[in-house]
A and B are shown apart, each in its own frame.
Chain A
């Protein structure tokens, strides 16, 4: 593993980009690593483009700048690829791009490693609602191995586990499904 891994997540307000970054950071922490997650602050309007950031490292993380040269980019809403120019910052050099989509052709993205995952479809099937986050992070774990499935399960159970365990269980199911799909491909 490189000294520090940087992940940038793009979504729209309400889709949970910040939660996705948190879950990845908590999962990495559960895996025994150092991690940091933070939002591109203050634009919490439903539907507006938002960014969230996650760093994972073997040593304590001191750096606080936003992420301009990510190792990985996760795109929760595919319409942002053409709509939000920030999505493309540093995208040429990143290892891989993960998109919530069934489409496979992305002329705007100058990167050969694009993984498409039908996260919305998986979420509707497993959770019953288009809560795409857990499917996407499951796919991310399958694609990169940066966080373990066990770590993610702990993070998701902590976050969504409450009186009704079904919420956590259905989210874990969505995560595992996306993980398997990416692993197979």
Chain B
């Protein structure tokens, strides 16, 4: 049913529809509304999951790790410092091959302390071994959670769904919330594979000590599976489209003039503003386009290269920075494209600074100046 609803509440409804058995979280802005709503569902008898209010994010992540290892569907959400406090456990969850689903309501990281949106939190744990999806709007945020469970349980890799804090979590807009029946059909009950979980009748150990004789191969396996999960993600995006009649199976979407010389690259809610700016540029006869990267891990290298193939300049717009280097998405794209293409790193929106169409027009001009280095806009 279509509703005009706050992003956080829409995601909470989606999680309820996915029927997790254990939800554990510790409150942190701007993620709080999601788990508050889930706690309400539980209190009012609309959902029967175990809700554990942990004493820290480290514990919340550990609780979903343990629950997932016992073979049930789990959920947690966090932001910023909370996500970073989970870091050690996030690596372990991926290493144990547990299909945990986590929402990151993206927020800036201290210091200075700042509760507003950027994507520094998620980008900082990009090497943890999780699949990382980024939603442009609240419909995608809802849809990606359904997909997250479907994908993670097949590939035995956890999925983090990123939605920009406040910009999406606190925004009311129309969202189609699927019915219980539709979701149950798309996402059947979780049936873990034998040997994957702790079972007293058939004992196994998870996360054993690995000596130099084995560790490298085990990490290589996770790498290979994460890379090949790309095909499963595309397949499930396609299945989602068939079932729910929206979305597409692309990991990287292109929007704008097909022969654009200047192409922006970005992730998350900022893509919406960029699309409006691209429309204005195109209407004024400027050849511009934008690629939206929906899936950051595994990184869809071939799609990025092909979508940028005609561009002379790529303006990569990051809401994060690898201090001492440049925007993280910019580094990743520079590693892929030939030297004759100019890729420039632009940093915007840190700590909730508003990103406007005017900023995008400024970037359109500046990328043609052929300067090196990182440019901060805003």
Q: Is A62 an interface residue (CB 8 A)?
A: yes
- Which residues of chain B have C-beta atoms less than 8 A from A133's C-beta? none
Residue B291 CB within 8 A of the other chain: no
Across the interface, do B357 and A63 meet the contact criterion of CB distance under 8 Å? yes
Binds A, one of B18-26, B40-48, B171-179, B199-207: B171-179
Contact with B along A23-61 (1 / 0, CB 8 A): 001101110001111110110000000000000000001
Smallest CB gap from B165: residue in A = A41
Q: A25-B4, A38-B166, A41-B166 are in contact. Are A65 and B171 (CB under 8 A)?
A: no
User: Given the interface contacts A41-B352, A64-B273, A65-B354, does A36 sit within 8 Å of B173 by beta carbon?
Assistant: yes
The smallest beta-carbon distance between A63 and chain B, in angstroms, is 5
Question: Secondary structure of the A side of the interface?
Answer: mixed
**Which of A29, A39, A42, A68 has the most C-beta atoms of chain B within 10 angstroms of its own C-beta?**
A42
A9 CB to closest chain B CB, in angstroms?
Answer: 13
> A65-B354, A65-B356 known; A26 and B273 CB under 8 Å?
no
Knowing A38-B167, A41-B166, say if A63 contacts B173 (CB, 8 Å): no
**Known contacts A35-B173, A38-B167, A42-B166: A29-B4 contact under CB 8 Å:** yes
Given known contacts A35-B4, A41-B116, A42-B115, A63 and B170 CB-to-CB distance under 8 angstroms: no
State A36–B138 Cα separation when bound (angstroms).
11
Which residue of chain B has its CB nearest to the CB of A24?
A: B172
- Chain A residues with Cβ below 8 Å from B116 are 41-42
B4:A38 contact, CB within 8 angstroms: no
B208-222 near A? 1/0 per residue, CB < 8 Å = 000000000000000
Contact A26 B172 (CB under 8 A): yes
Verify if B275 is at the interface (C-beta below 8 Å from A). Answer: yes
Q: Give min CB distance, A145 to chain B, whole Å.
A: 19
What count of chain A residues pass the 8 Å CB interface test?
A: 22
Asked if residues A37 and B171 are in contact (CB atoms below 8 Å), the reply is yes
| A22 contacts chain B at the CB level, 8 A cutoff | yes
Contact assessment for A38 and B172 in the assembled complex, using a CB-CB cutoff below 8 Å: yes
Whether the Cβ atoms of A41 and B170 lie closer than 8 Å is: yes
Q: Contacts A29-B4, A42-B116, A65-B273 hold; do A34 and B174 have CB atoms under 8 A apart?
A: yes
| Partner pick for A64 among B6, B115, B269, CB 8 A cutoff | B269
What is the interface of chain B, defined by CB distance below 8 A to chain A?
Answer: 3-4, 6, 29-30, 115-117, 136-137, 166-167, 170-174, 269-270, 272-273, 275-276, 352, 354-357
| Besides A26-B172, A38-B167, 18 other A-B contacts (C-beta < 8 A) | A21-B172, A22-B172, A25-B172, A29-B4, A34-B173, A35-B4, A35-B172, A39-B166, A41-B115, A41-B166, A41-B170, A41-B352, A42-B166, A62-B137, A62-B272, A64-B171, A64-B269, A64-B355
Q: Which 4 A-B pairs have the closest CB atoms?
A: A62-B272, A29-B4, A41-B166, A38-B171
